[in-house]
Amino acid sequence: MPLVLEITGTNLKADTVDSVQPGVLPVEFHYPADLPRLPPQYQLDDHSVTKDQRAEIVKNLLPKFQQEAKEYEKTLGHFLPLKDEASSSQLVSKLVHKIMLQYQLSDDLAFVVDHDFSEKFKIVIHDTLVGLQVKTVIFLPCSVLSTVGANVRDALVVYLTMECVKIYVVSDLREIVTKQDTRVNLLSKNHDIIQELVDEAVGESPIDLRRKLRERIVVLGDDSNEYIHTDLTPEKQKFETRQSMGCWEGAALYAQSQNIH
């Protein structure tokens, strides 16, 4: 049976399309000292900032933000810095190998959930799977898959990751608007900013679609793992109007609907 692979910031999920639940591999690795170490919402992590300069910035933060920075440091090495593709490409390749071998998965065809991966990142994933004897790799956009998983064709998807919040507008199972903002992430879930982004996305959408979007909001996020606990209950209560099975499940459902064996 064809395979479905999803790579998020916190976990990898993989299994055949007929599985009830995918195998899960939590992210865990040695976090290099030269990678960003401050919460993304601070917008201070730049490669031009030295280790000493970064330490001085943290030292001069208000107590509240010092504590926030310390809590964030505990998560380092337990989520993938997907926005820094140069650092994460080799790591992702190793993790894909690990989950495929751990769950003894193999097939000629694989569907990969595309979380806005760059072309370079897609090539890394594609080549890794081809090296594991997969002949055909098909990337499917996460926004559309979550919409399929909600059993609708139009939706506004709010996706919270460890690095940012992403807003997608899906119309007739096509992604037409995307937004992202590093001021909001799974550790800093500012509802006012989320609402602002939702309003902007709806306002930029065709007039005949706007009411549907307000009535079909899907909230998703990177899953918890052994080291990072995420709780989207407050966000689902405030924003969500339509539940989705999730991206991995949506990809499996899509593959099954294509009668692919």
Bigger pLDDT: 255 vs 259: 255
Better-scored residue on pLDDT, 37 or 133: 133
Give the pLDDT band of residue 127 (cuts 50, 70, 90). Answer: very high
155 and 232 share one domain = yes
Question: Within a domain: residue 151?
Answer: yes
Per cent of the chain over pLDDT 90 is: 70
Instruction: Name the residue with higher pLDDT: 91 or 55.
Output: 91
pLDDT higher at 85 or 127: 127
pLDDT of residue 257: 82
In a domain, 127, yes or no: no
User: Of 75, 97, 118, at which residue does a domain stop?
Assistant: 75
Q: Is the pLDDT of residue 104 over 90?
A: yes
Q: What is the dihedral of CA 75, 77, 82, 85, to 10 degrees?
A: 150
Residue 252: inside a domain, yes or no? Answer: no
Share of the chain above pLDDT 70, in %: 91
Considering the chain, what is the average pLDDT of its residues?
90
Range of the domain at 61: 40-75
Number of helical H runs and strand E runs in the chain: 9, 9
In a domain, 13, yes or no: no
- Give me the half-sphere count of Cα atoms (radius 13 Å) on the Cβ side of residue 52: 0
- Asked if residue 153 and residue 71 are part of one domain, the reply reads no
The reported pLDDT for the residue numbered 162 is 93
Q: Are 198 and 239 in contact (CB under 8 A)?
A: yes
Cα distance between residue 119 and residue 197, in whole Å: 26
Nearest to 145 by CA among 219, 62, 249, 16: 249
Q: What are the residues whose beta carbons fall under 8 Å from the beta carbon of 61, sequence distance 6 or more? A: 69
Instruction: Report how many domains make up the chain.
Output: 2
> Which pLDDT score, from 0 to 100, does residue 100 have?
97
Dump strand ranges (E) for 31-127. 109-114
Asked whether 157 and 247 are in contact (CB, 8 A), the reply is: no
Q: What is the DSSP letter of 61?
A: S
Question: Pick from 108, 107, 80: which is nearest to 94 by CA?
Answer: 80
Mean pLDDT value across residues 233-237:
98
Residue-wise pLDDT for 105-118, tens only, equals 999 999 999 999 98
Lookup: tokens for 150 = 């909600």
CA angle at residue 26 from 54 to 114, to 5 degrees? 85
**Predicted confidence band at 216 (pLDDT cuts at 50, 70, 90)?**
very high
* Averaged pLDDT for residues 224-230: 93
Residue tagged 């609708």 (tokens): 152
CB atoms within 10 A of CB 125: 21
pLDDT at residue 10 in the model: 96
Q: Is residue 172 part of a domain?
A: yes
**What is the torsional sign of CA 192, 193, 194, 199?**
positive
Cβ neighbours of 41 (radius 10 Å): 20
In the chain, % helix, strand, coil (3-state, to 5) comes to 40, 20, 40
φ and ψ at 165, to 5 degrees?
Answer: -110, 140
Asked whether residue 106 is assigned to any structural domain, the reply reads: no
CA dist., res. 135 & res. 190, Å (int): 43
Q: So what's the pLDDT on residue 18?
A: 92
Distance of CA 92 to the CA centre of its chain: 14
| 47 pLDDT tier (thresholds 50, 70, 90) | low
Q: Is the pLDDT of residue 90 over 80?
A: yes
pLDDT of residue 61: 72
Q: Is residue 180 part of a domain?
A: yes
Find the CATH number of the domain harbouring 167: 3.30.420.40
Residues 69 and 148 in one domain: no
- Do the domain assignments include residue 57? yes
